[in-house]
Amino acid sequence: MKQICNLDLAKYKIEKEQNIILAKKYLVSSIYNTAKIEGCNVTYPDTQTILAGAVINNVSVDDIQTILNLRDAYRFMITSINTPFSLEYVCKINEYVSRNESLQWGVLRSGDVGVGGTDWKPEIPDKKNTEEKIKRILALNNPIDRALEYFSYAVKSQLFWDGNKRTSIIAANKILVSNQCGILNIMQENIAEFNKTLLYYYNTNDNHPLRRCLKRSIYSIDKGFNMINYYAAETGLFIKTANKLLREGKSLHDIKEFFKKFVLDDRQNDEKNKLLELLKPFSNGR
């Protein structure tokens, strides 16, 4: 059977210029939420004030630096959206993200690091192996999967001395925007789940709960320019496509296997069971 990546996502794609406008519209929100993931003690109005270049006294110099670095990194991503995705490109993102914040910025890590809250010890990244891994990720058909798998790989590998989560979020956005698939913006209500599933991934190497969390944080617009959430859109596509396969004579078991890796395994068990229950009336006992 065809891979899950051949789900008909075309109706949820938007024009590239529209996607760039969307990224610009939510630039402040993206910067604010990405900074909060790093534990920056800033409010949304603080972020707006810093980005406007006004003097602010209740925010630390380090947090201001983080905000300004994120501004420059997001702007670089948006203005270079047609530049091919590569390790060199990701290094450039990290150069903006980690400027004046780490031992080195814009180059692969050359020493050992630890990850707080886990015993996970990532290997020192090798340039050739990293380039090969990125090449394999970019070969995935579905741009959503490319973005999620790149984020998972890069954040666990800790490619850089610092700013790995921030760099990975912006790199994932590069993949999404350049492929007209919306933006990744991890809102405040999802940060606790993000941290929990990321830690779980470090400890188990199972990135499906993390993928589920990230999918809930991908937003696009419909033809009426209303915000839509990719996770909900994918649910509808799963039901529509699965029922089409049932009508064509495919068994429920085959369909479950068909969708397993990139849809069903990204769902919690109760939700997975509910989705499959919606298909049973059409299966005629198969």
CA pair distance 90, 258, nearest whole angstrom: 32
pTM: 0.92
Measured from the Cβ of residue 124, the count of other Cβ atoms closer than 10 Å reads 12
Burial letters 143-152, b for 16+ CB under 10 A, else e: bbbbbbbbbb
CB atoms within 10 A of CB 1: 11
Identify the sign of the CA torsion 255, 256, 257, 259.
positive
Q: What is the pLDDT along the chain (286 residues), one digit of tens a residue?
A: 333 334 556 666 889 999 999 999 999 999 999 999 999 999 999 999 999 999 898 899 999 999 999 999 999 999 999 999 999 999 999 999 999 888 899 999 999 998 888 888 999 999 999 999 999 999 998 899 999 999 999 999 999 999 999 999 999 999 999 999 999 999 999 999 999 999 999 999 999 999 999 999 999 987 777 888 999 988 988 998 899 889 989 888 888 988 888 899 999 999 999 999 988 776 655 5
Beta bridge partners of 221: 227
